[in-house]
Chain A
Amino acid sequence: MRKLIKQREIVENTWRHVEEDPNASAIIVPLAQWLTEREALLASGKQIGVKLMPADKVEALKDDAAKLPLIALHFGGLGEGRGYSQAHILRRRYGFTGELRAVGKVQRDQLFVMARCGIDAYELPEGADLNVALTAFDDYTVAYQPGIDTVALHLRRRAG
C-alpha cells in the first residue's frame, strides 16, 4: 500500500480515491460528485473527502469545509499555483481543520511552500523517496510572511 507524508511523518494512506477503489471505507471524491451526490455520500457510512481540481471554485466548499475530514487539492505540476490560494482560503476563511492533502504531480521542491499555505499531507508519485522529501520542510528556517503553518516548521520571523 502506498504511503504518504503527513505532518512531517511517513504514514499509511488510509484513504482511497474513488476512481481507485469505490468500496474503500474512506474515499476521496471529485467536487462534482460531492455536489451532486452529497446526501447519498454522507448516508453511505463511509468517510468522505472531497478533491478540488485547480479550476474548481473553492467557494463551492464554503459551507461544508468546517465539517469535512479531508480535502484534497490537485496540482498539475510545479507551474500550477491555484492550489496555494485554495489552501489559503480553506484554512483561513472557511475554518477547515481537517487533513489538507496535495495530490497529483507533487514534488519535493513544493512541500515547504505548500506547508506554509496550510497543506499538511502529501501524496507523492510512485517511486518518490519519501525520506528525501521529508528534508524539504527544513529548506528554510526563516520567513518574511506569516503562514498557516499547520505542519510544525521551525521558522523564525521578524517581529512586526
Chain B
Amino acid sequence: MYKYDQIDQQIVTQRVAQYRDQTQRFLAGTLADEDFRALRLRNGLYIQRFAPMLRVSIPYGLLSSAQVRMFARIAREYDKGFGHFTTRQNIQYNWPELAKVPDILELLASVEMHAIQTSGNCIRNVTSDPLSGVARDEIEDPRPWCELVRQWATVHPEFNFLPRKFKIAITGSTADRAAVRVHDIGLIIKHNAAGEMGFEVLVGGGLGRAPSIGQTIYDFVTPHDLLGCLEAILRVYNLEGRRDNIHKARIKFVVKANGVEKFREMVDAEWAASKSYAPVLSDAEIARVKSYFAPPAYEKLPDSDVVTGKGNDFRRWYQQNTRPHKVPGYRAVVVSLKSIKRPPGDITDAQLDAVADITQRYSFNEIRATHDQNLVLADVRQQDLYTVWQELTRIDLATPNVGTLTDMIACPGLDLCSLANARTYTVVDLINERFDDLDYLYDLGEIQLKMSGCMNACGHHHVGHIGILGVDKSGEEWYQVTIGGSPNGKDADLGSVIGRSFKQEEIPDVLERLFRVYLELRQEDERFVDTVRRTGIAPFKAGAYAQANQAA
C-alpha cells in the first residue's frame, strides 16, 4: 500500500498542529462557534446528539495492521471501546471529547492517517473497489489513481469551500463494486480501441434528497489529463453550484438545471481555458505511486479444495464469505461486521486488535474496509482459510451472511445521529430476529438491504434492492420501503417506493410478504432485484399490503 514520504507526513502533521491551534482558540473563546464549525468539520468532527463524532479517513478503504491497531487503541482510550465502519469506507468514533481530538489526530498521524476532509463541503474520501488488485474481472488496479486523486484533493486551495460535499469513486472493473454511478464524480477505468488505459467520467450521481444516477460526460480521459479534467469540473461546480439552498447544492443540480449536454460544454470551455497550466500527471509520478501497489510476494500455489471433509459451518462460511482471487492458491475473505450482536459496521477494540493480528499473519499485513460496512482480507492462502475462519469465529466476525438479507447497511439513526428521524438499529434487530434461518436466507439469495434514518441517505436506501427509510410523522417513527434499487455498474438504479409507510414492528412481516411474492414469481436463479425489475413493483405492492388491508 502507499507509504508516506516526507511531504505526505508533513502535511498531516502540520494539519494536526493547525487544528490544535483552532481547537484551543475555540475553547478559549476567541474563535466563534460558527467559525469553528467549518474548520472542525473539515477535520472530521461533528457535534452529535450526545457527543461529538469523529470520522477518520481510510483512503479508498485500505488499511495496514498497524493502522487497525491504532483504531483499537483510540477506541479504548478515547471512546467507549468501539468504532463504526461507514459506507464511505471510513471509521467513526461516537464518543470522543472535543478537547482531546487533536491528540487523537496526532496518534493517527503517527501511523500515516488523518481525518482531513471527512466532512464539510469539500472533496471527501475517494472510495473504490474493496477487491482492487485481486479481482479476476479487473481491467486495472484503481488504487494508484485513488491515491493520486487523494493527494490532489487534500487541502486543495481552491476547492475547500464548495457549495456542498463532493464524493469521488473509482472502479477498475465493469462489475463496479464502488457504486460509481451514485457519486458526484464516478471514474471507470477502461481501455480504448488502441489498448490504452483511460477513464470514463460520470458526473451528477448522488443519494440524499433528490437522488440521481450519474451521467457520462467524457468517454475517455487519458491518465495525464485526469487532474486537469477534475479541476475543470470542480471549478464549474464551485462557481455555478447553488449556495442559497443546501438541499439543491450538490453538483447533480447543476447538471440537471443545465442538462448534461450544456454541462459538458461548460466543462469543455473551462478545461480548454485552463489547458496551458492545468495539472498534468507525469509518467514519473504515476510510476512512483503505482510502485506502492505492486502485487505482494505471492507464493506459487495450486488452487486447492479446502472444503471437502470439513464441517457444514466452515463450508457455509467459505461459500458466502470468501471470493475468488486472480492468483491461484489464494482467496479474498470478507470479514462480516454483521453479527446479530452488534449494529452493522460496529467493531470493538478487542476485535480490531485481533483483526490486526490475523491481517498480519494471513494477508500480507493489509485489510480493506468496504462500502457495505464489512472488512476484506484480500490475499489469504487457501490453505490458511480454515484457520482464519476459526480465528474469526472466535471473535464473532464470521457470520456466514455476506451478500444475504442480514448483511444490511444501516446508518446509526436516531440512536446517535442528530439528523435522524427514526431509529435504525432496532429495525436491524427485528430483522435479525425474524430472519435467523440461514437456509432460508441462502434460498433468498443475494439481497442488498440498505437502511437510512433520514433522507440524507447515509445508509444508501435508494439503491438498496430493498431500501428502508426512517420518516417522522407527527413525532412518530415510520418507515418507507423501496424495492428494485441497485448501486452497482450498469445495473445501478433507484428503487421505487411501494406505498404508505409502516410502523417499526410491521417491517419483518412486510419483508416476509415481499419474499413470498418473490419466491412465487422467481424464474430459475433470478435475484430478488431482477424479479422486481422484470415484473415491476405491482405484485410486490399487492403482496406487501395484502395482510395490512385485510386487518384494516
Contact = CB atoms under 8 A, between A and B. Distances in A.
Bin chain B's interface residue count. 35 or more
Contact of A117 (B10, B14, B157): B157
A82 B243 CA distance: 10
A9 to B, nearest CB: 21
Given A78-B35, A92-B274, A84 B151 contact: no
A131 interface: no
A81 B39 contact: no
Contacts of A157: 7
B435 to A, nearest CB: 44
19 contacts: A58-B239, A77-B35, A79-B38, A79-B121, A82-B238, A84-B159, A86-B239, A92-B274, A93-B273, A117-B158, A139-B18, A140-B10, A140-B18, A141-B10, A141-B14, A144-B154, A145-B157, A160-B284, A160-B288
Contacts of B158: 84-85, 88, 113, 117
Nearest 3 CB-CB pairs, A to B? A81-B161, A116-B157, A160-B285
B273 A139 contact: no
B157 A147 contact: yes
Given A146-B279, A147-B157, A140 B11 contact: yes
Contact of B11 (A80, A84, A142): A142
B7 A142 contact: yes
Contacts, number: 97
A66 to B, nearest CB: 16
Given A145-B152, A146-B279, A80 B161 contact: yes
B277 A92 contact: yes
Contacts of B7: 142, 144, 156-158
Nearest to A140: B14
Interface in B145-160: 151-152, 154-160
Interface in B2-27: 5-7, 10-11, 14-15, 17-18, 22
Interface string A36-56: 000000000000000000100
Interface in A112-160: 112-114, 116-117, 139-147, 156-160
B207 interface: no
A7 interface: no
Contacts of A58: 239
B239 A85 contact: yes
B235 interface: yes
Given A81-B238, A160-B282, A160-B284, 13 more contacts: A77-B35, A78-B35, A80-B161, A81-B121, A81-B163, A82-B238, A85-B238, A107-B35, A113-B157, A113-B158, A140-B155, A144-B151, A160-B288
A64 interface: no
A51 to B, nearest CB: 17
Contacts of B6: 142
B39 to A, nearest CB: 6
Nearest to A156: B7
A73 to B, nearest CB: 13
Contact of A145 (B35, B156, B162, B163): B156
A117 B160 CA distance: 12
Given A80-B161, A81-B162, A84-B238, A142 B14 contact: yes
Interface in B463-484: none
Nearest to B288: A160
Contacts of B239: 58, 82, 85-86
